[in-house]
Chains A and B, each alone.
Chain A
Amino acid sequence: MKVLAGRVAIAVAVLALWEAVAAPLNPLFYVRPSALPGALLAMWRVPELPPLAAHVWLTVKEILAAYAIAVTAGLWLGFLLGLRTTVGRIYEPLLAALYAVPSVIWYPSLMLFFGLGPASKIAFGVLLGFFPVVLSVLAGIRQVPPTLVTVARSMGARPFTVFRKVMLPAMASTMVGGLRAGLALAVVGVLVGEILGARAGVGYVISYAYGLMMTREYAVLAVLVGAGVLALDTAGALVEARVKRWAG
């Protein structure tokens, strides 16, 4: 109860402070939180801004495509490197080295190669979302107790049964964590791509509003997208908790 009160107090204090600081300042740069709801209502009617629904839908489609590809590729490569130990010893260090590179530097090349359309955003989302999936599969496989696999095999379990009944439960919680992180990064990749260079999508509208100094509209969009991402991540956390309970 005290904790909850503390949390509410922080939220209220931050909003009040923001309001107090922003009130006397230029509204072109500093948007007051109390101005946001009005701006949201006005936005549905602003003719300067492109119709929002189509952009949101495009971004959602890009994210879904990026995530689907990242998960497929990530699971495949993760199991390949994790189950074939020789292949893993050769390619895991290369993967780790690649992971150390700040990912934004790939974006200009992707933009050049795939153009300003959705393809470059999907490619960047795949690139970002792919790593946590692969790494979590590799970490998960390492967590499987080898004795359990040996026991199951010696009792005559077929490879698929071993995989389903022994390996999957042991790997599940790590893997689900990676899948969740992968979704978050796929979202980031698509948004970054749209903000850096695009002709459509939510990130494009944000960048557009920024370019025209429509700060209120930008702030509304940023808050909404942030809230949407948080909601998605919370849903992911719930799924993760369920899977962890299932895996015990």
Chain B
Amino acid sequence: MGRLGVLGCQALSLAALLLLWDLAVRTGVADPLFVPTPAAVAAALGSTAREALSRLGDTLLKALAGYVLAVGLGVAAGLWLGARRFPHAVAMPYVVAAYGVPKVLVLPWIALICGLGATTAVLTATLFAVFPIVLMVAAGTRDVDPTLVTAAVSMGATRGQVSRKVLLPAVLPSVVAGMRVGIVFAMLGVLLAEMFAGTRGMGFLMQRMALAFRAPDLFAATAIVSALSIVVVLSLEHWSRRLSRWR
């Protein structure tokens, strides 16, 4: 099957899914109070988009702040831990444990200390995104072939040259991979913080729509945020693939 055929089948499947959904509501299998028809969601899309626009900007800004913090901290810590044997052996179990513990458990405490504003959301985003980045960058740094470094040094490369010409290209893919995973986690952290303890932002809006039984608006908002994050993540993926080709 060609590329067009695949795309056609995908479009057809989505259409069938929408039809099935519509039928389920119309025949009363799903209660329209909780599950609106696709047509109702489409009708709500315009007004919800207007309501969501500024809140979405707010959420994205917080996610970006948390993300930048997490990338800075995570890449630095990952490079340091990956390059040194002893700190790696000592600290890695803690990083893995911190990665494994559900971060929601800390969220109430952050909200208690930092209040219901942007600080809580940004810190939560950082907390969610930083550990996967550390793990991926540290693993990538450890896997750099030492013979490459030895060869460069024996040919008279300076420290700066080794970092720039050998280590950077070798580590870059894992940094990019970490950054790609980090963006979803940062968004997740902000939205969760807004749902739990927010007064603004998209997460807060969606939680309030759910509690007010505004089902069409809620579905429309979910669709908008989904579409946005799919576009962001897929374009990042495209970009990282181009980067690996450059290497």
A interface, over-half SS: helix
Q: Which of A99-116 touch B at CB < 8 Å?
A: 100-109, 111-113
Chain B residues near A44 (CB-CB < 8 A): none
Question: In the complex the two chains form, is B35's CB within 8 Å of A195's CB?
Answer: no
Does A188 touch B at the CB level, under 8 Å?
Answer: yes
Question: In the complex the two chains form, is A109's CB within 8 Å of B222's CB?
Answer: yes
Measured CB to CB, the closest approach of chain B to A206, in angstroms, equals 6
Q: Which of A119-137 touch B at CB < 8 Å?
A: none
Question: In the complex the two chains form, is A219's CB within 8 Å of B109's CB?
Answer: yes
Sorting the interface of chain A by its residue count into under 10, 10 to 19, 20 to 34 or 35 or more gives 35 or more
Question: In the complex the two chains form, is A206's CB within 8 Å of B105's CB?
Answer: yes
* Complex alpha-carbon distance, A206 and B107, angstroms: 11
* Complex alpha-carbon distance, A105 and B93, angstroms: 31
Chain A residues near B192 (CB-CB < 8 A): 104, 192, 196
Check A195/B187 contact, CB under 8 A, given A101-B225, A101-B229. no
Measured CB to CB, the closest approach of chain A to B39, in angstroms, equals 17
Top 6 closest A-B pairs, CB basis? A108-B210, A100-B233, A6-B90, A210-B108, A102-B188, A102-B187
Chain A residues near B226 (CB-CB < 8 A): 101, 105
Cβ contact of A10, chosen from B34, B90, B108, B184, cutoff 8 A: B90
Question: In the complex the two chains form, is A104's CB within 8 Å of B203's CB?
Answer: yes
Give the nearest-CB partner of A227 in chain B. Answer: B101
Cβ contact of B91, chosen from A10, A105, A108, cutoff 8 A: A10
Give the nearest-CB partner of A192 in chain B. Answer: B104
Question: In the complex the two chains form, is B219's CB within 8 Å of A89's CB?
Answer: no
* Complex alpha-carbon distance, A86 and B13, angstroms: 14
* Complex alpha-carbon distance, A112 and B77, angstroms: 41
Chain B residues near A219 (CB-CB < 8 A): 109
Does B28 touch A at the CB level, under 8 Å?
Answer: no
Check A100/B90 contact, CB under 8 A, given A94-B10, A109-B218. no
Question: In the complex the two chains form, is A112's CB within 8 Å of B229's CB?
Answer: no
Give the nearest-CB partner of A195 in chain B. Answer: B104
Q: Which of B190-247 touch A at CB < 8 Å?
A: 191-192, 195-196, 202-203, 206-207, 209-210, 213, 215, 218-219, 222, 225-226, 229-230, 232-234
Does A162 touch B at the CB level, under 8 Å?
Answer: no
Does A229 touch B at the CB level, under 8 Å?
Answer: yes
Check A3/B90 contact, CB under 8 A, given A29-B113, A104-B188, A108-B209. yes
Question: In the complex the two chains form, is B101's CB within 8 Å of A230's CB?
Answer: yes
Question: In the complex the two chains form, is A2's CB within 8 Å of B209's CB?
Answer: no
* Complex alpha-carbon distance, A73 and B195, angstroms: 28
Task: Specify which of A94, A101, A102, A111 lies most central, judged by the most chain B CB atoms within 10 Å of its CB.
Answer: A102
* Complex alpha-carbon distance, A93 and B237, angstroms: 13
Q: Which of B29-57 touch A at CB < 8 Å?
A: 34-35
Question: In the complex the two chains form, is A89's CB within 8 Å of B89's CB?
Answer: no
Give the nearest-CB partner of B219 in chain A. Answer: A109
Check A222/B109 contact, CB under 8 A, given A104-B188, A233-B100. yes
Does B6 touch A at the CB level, under 8 Å?
Answer: yes
Chain B residues near A188 (CB-CB < 8 A): 102, 104
* Complex alpha-carbon distance, A68 and B10, angstroms: 29
Question: In the complex the two chains form, is A226's CB within 8 Å of B105's CB?
Answer: yes
